């Protein structure tokens, strides 16, 4: 029996690894297409983009690993069913229930690894991703700019650029709102960014334009000054301040410390409670998908592959839609944080357990 269990487990390893790699690669390609504009149009270094993609991988794994568990079950048992090995096992007196516990145990072990992923690796990767974006913004400020939109990343200025071609900006308008008095406006035919000496700020060099300057003799009024070249220093919010961790970038220990601190200040800690339970519940979602994988793998016939994969997609979408809906209910105060985050798992375990018990009793 031990040999048979090892054989069945080994049948799942290949499909699991292939599915994790394939799904993760597919999601990365989608992000690569989105980042490609930064390389082609904005001149961002390809190495910097590759670092962003690497930092995205842990977050993608939080989705692809549970789904890979479900798909691996379906593929492995589909192969066993297609070769009539499941029928041979039943004819030899091996009940399907004896194959279930080893696979559920593996699912629990994977959930333990997912818990480490959600607690340590994903928060660190998410913070590193934001730091890399900050570094790109300092080295290549045009990455912040998109033609035809008002840019507010360089306070107190509001920048509007009609066209961005690499490092060249065409038809630049810069507004500096004043709390008292008219808005100062700078208009230039074109401009370009230049790195500053300290590496923390960027210089914007403008050409052939005008500036509306304060008129000292008439407070509240402006007069127009023409220029051939005009240089101004810009610094973004992220460049001025050290990046602070968001809730999703905190470990369990840091979340606990933050909850204690906010509670002492009489601040609502519901978002922190939701994040703690979300990390734990998402980790153990793997067991839910393993359970449904057993249901589909043992209960479906090998010629029903299209229907099976429609079930796979439907179950995955239903689980995460339920998670989003329960999160919204918790934020409205209609349910507790732990119940909101664990409800998809509880529903999945109950439905999958009943479904699996019926299949095993056949």
The label of the residue with tokens 């670092």 reads 51
Percent of the chain with pLDDT over 90: 18
Q: Is the pLDDT of residue 115 over 50?
A: yes
Taken in order 338, 342, 343, 346, is the CA torsion positive or negative?
A: negative
Over range 149-159, report the average pLDDT: 78
Residue 103: phi, psi to the nearest 5?
A: -70, -40
The label of the residue with tokens 């000292």 reads 216
DSSP 284: T
Locate all alpha helices (DSSP H) within 41-84, ordered by sequence: 46-82
Rg value, the chain, Cα: 28
Name the residue among 295, 278, 250 with its Cα closest to residue 342: 278
Percent of the chain with pLDDT over 70: 77
pLDDT: is 45 or 191 the higher one? 191
Euclidean distance between CA atoms 210 and 269, whole angstroms: 51
Residue 96: phi, psi to the nearest 5?
A: -60, -30
Q: Is the pLDDT of residue 156 over 50?
A: yes
Produce one character per residue of 50-77: b if its CB has 16 or more CB atoms within 10 Å, e if not.
ebbeebbebbbbbbbbbbbbbbbbbbbb
Residues 211-268 have pLDDT tens digits of 887 766 666 666 788 888 888 887 655 444 456 788 888 889 989 888 888 888 777 7
**Percentages of the chain per state (helix, strand, coil), in multiples of 5:** 65, 15, 20
Least confidently predicted of 75-79, 135-139, 160-164, 189-193: 135-139
CA dist list (Å): 219 to 177, 210, 214, 253, 298? 15, 20, 7, 55, 82
Over range 99-128, report the average pLDDT: 89
Q: What is the mean pLDDT of the chain?
A: 80
User: In the structure, what pLDDT confidence band is assigned to residue 118 with cuts at 50, 70 and 90?
Assistant: very high
CA dist list (Å): 322 to 219, 319, 328? 59, 5, 10
Over range 317-338, report the average pLDDT: 89
Structure tokens at 214: 């304060």
pLDDT: is 206 or 145 the higher one? 206
User: In the structure, what pLDDT confidence band is assigned to residue 3 with cuts at 50, 70 and 90?
Assistant: low
Q: Is the pLDDT of residue 103 over 70?
A: yes
Would the pTM of this model clear 0.85, i.e. be above it?
A: no
Residue 359 and residue 100 in contact, taking contact as beta carbons nearer than 8 Å? no
């Amino acid at each position: 029996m031990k040999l048979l269990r090892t054989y069945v487990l080994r049948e799942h390893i290949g499909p699991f690894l292939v599915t994790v790699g394939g799904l993760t690669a597919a999601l990365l390609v989608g992000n690569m297409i989105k980042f490609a504009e930064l390389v082609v149009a904005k001149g961002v270094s390809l190495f910097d983009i590759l670092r962003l993609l690497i930092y995205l991988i842990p977050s993608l794994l939080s989705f692809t690993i549970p789904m890979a568990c479900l798909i691996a079950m379906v593929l492995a048992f589909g192969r066993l069913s297609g070769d009539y090995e499941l029928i041979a096992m039943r004819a030899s007196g091996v009940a399907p229930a004896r194959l279930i516990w080893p696979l559920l145990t593996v699912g629990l072990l994977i959930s333990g690894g997912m818990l480490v992923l959600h607690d340590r690796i994903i928060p660190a990767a998410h913070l590193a991703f934001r730091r890399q974006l900050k570094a790109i913004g300092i080295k290549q400020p045009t990455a912040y700019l998109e033609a035809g939109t008002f840019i507010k990343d360089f306070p107190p200025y509001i920048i509007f650029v009609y066209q961005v071609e690499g490092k060249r900006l065409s038809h630049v308008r810069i507004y500096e709102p004043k709390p008292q008095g008219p808005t100062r406006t700078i208009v230039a035919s074109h401009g370009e960014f230049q790195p500053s000496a300290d590496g923390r700020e960027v210089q914007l060099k403008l050409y052939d334009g005008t500036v509306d300057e304060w008129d000292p003799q008439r407070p509240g009024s402006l007069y127009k000054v023409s220029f051939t070249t005009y240089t101004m220093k810009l610094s973004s919010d992220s460049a001025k301040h050290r990046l602070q961790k968001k809730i999703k970038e905190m470990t369990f220990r840091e979340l606990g410390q933050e909850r204690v601190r906010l509670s002492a200040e009489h601040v609502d800690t519901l978002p922190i409670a939701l994040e703690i339970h979300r990390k734990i519940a998402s980790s153990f979602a793997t067991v839910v998908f393993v359970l449904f994988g057993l249901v589909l793998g043992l209960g479906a016939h090998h010629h029903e592959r299209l229907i099976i994969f429609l079930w796979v997609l439907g179950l995955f979408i239903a689980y995460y839609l339920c998670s989003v809906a329960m999160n919204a209910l918790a934020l409205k105060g209609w349910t507790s944080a732990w119940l909101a985050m664990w409800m998809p798992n509880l529903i999945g375990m109950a439905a999958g357990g009943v479904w699996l018990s019926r299949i095993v009793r056949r």
